Structure 1
Amino acid sequence: MKMEVFEMGFPTHIVSAGGIVEDGNGNILLVKTRDGGWVCPGGQVEVGENLMDALAREIKEESGIEATVSYLIGVYSNTGIFKWYDGVTDVPTQVIFEFVCKPVGGKLLAVTEETTDSRWVPKDEVLDFITQPAIRARYQAYLEFNGMVNYMDYITSPEFKIKHQAGISK
């Protein structure tokens, strides 16, 4: 398999951080993206940014909620090359670090530049909202979290398929 590289020869990967934001009352923060439906907030880490700062920024941008990052629960690799929503751009391997987060302020916004809705959803109803198989699998791993960081390697195209899954102990 040919790997995409920068001019300097470095592999091209997208590094992202995702957050399961728990409100302390049994609810999880969900945002509805413009292209991908309901998800837990998160997004790409920008150049010079660390994972936790990136995640706090993404949560605020997508929902209006200010959050602190508590602990890592999963590392996920989407190793399939697929087309972006524009149908043209190739999306390279994506590595996602999933954290549990706690809200500490802000105001829930119905609409932002990145989302068309956001809401607190009871923990046991979240899977009724999420339709993307990869996001569902990551949320299920959160529900089953036993203190071991979950690792999952999957592809999303042409259909969702888990290639490898393991728990990583402390």
Structure 2
Amino acid sequence: MAVRFPTHIVSAGGIVEDGQGNILIVRTHNDGWVCPGGQVETGENPMDAVVREIKEESGIDAEVCSLIGVYSNTGTFLWHDGVTVVPTQVIFEFVCSPVGGELAVSEETSDSRWVAKERVLDFITHPAIRARYQAYLDDNGTVNYMDYVTHPEFVIKHRTSLTK
């Protein structure tokens, strides 16, 4: 009998703070405005992945400052193509600082910009990304954990803050 391991997508997201009260956001083709991030590639760690994703999606070079949250999308659903099943996803969310680069777009994004920290939620409509960004705004020096599903509707199943 063959051993079957569970399948999870591991992702990393970056909330990039510019030191002047602005946050980097990008407009994706499928999810609208978001903070940059994406899947961790085979052999890559989440911190390297978020730095790579920020550069790929926005043109900005960044460094990781701290872990702000760990999130689980424990529902499975069909991808935008209507065929591919998306498995459970674990997301590591980091606060990052820019260290260079210039705003740009990519195959994944159609716009990138700096937005005042208090206005970011005016742009983000995806409920899971809004909830994760709100957890960042509410930061009280802890690491946030949230378990949610996004389909058929967004529902938070569990939320807590863990001491750093």
TM-score, normalised relative to structure 2: 0.97
Local SS of the residue matching 1:134: helix
Aligned to 2:159: 165
Match of 2:15 in 1: 20
Rounded to whole Å, the distance in 2 between the matches of 1:85 and 1:22 is 30
Per the TM alignment, residue 150 of structure 1 is displaced from its structure 2 partner at its CA by 0.4
Query: Hey, what's the Cα distance between the residues in 1 that align with 2:107 and 2:127?
Result: 25
Q: CA RMSD in A?
A: 0.8
Residues 105-136 of structure 1: per-residue CA shift (max 9 Å, x gap): 01111x21110000000001000000000000
**Residue in 1 that maps onto 2:56:** 61
Q: Quote the Cα distance in structure 1 between the aligned partners of 2:150 and 2:68.
A: 21
Within 1, Cα distance between the matches of 2:128 and 2:112? 20
Deviation at 1:33, TM superposition (A): 0.5
Give the deviation of 1:92 after TM superposition: 0.2
24, 32, 42: which one pairs with 1:37? 32
Runs of 5+ consecutive residues of structure 1 not aligned to the other structure:
1-6
CA offset digits 1:31-75 (Å, max 9, x no partner): 000111000000000000011111100000000000000000100
* Aligned-pair CA distance for 1:8: 4.7
Q: Which amino acid aligns with 1:114?
A: E
1:117 and 2:96 matched: no
Paired position in structure 2 for 1:136? 130
Moved over 4 A (4+): none
Q: Pick the aligned partner of 1:86 from 77, 81, 85.
A: 81
> Which amino acid in structure 2 is aligned with residue 145 of structure 1?
D
Paired residues for 1:146-157 under 5 Å: 146-157=140-151
Could you state the TM-score of these two structures normalised by the residue count of structure 1?
A: 0.94
Residue correspondences, number: 163
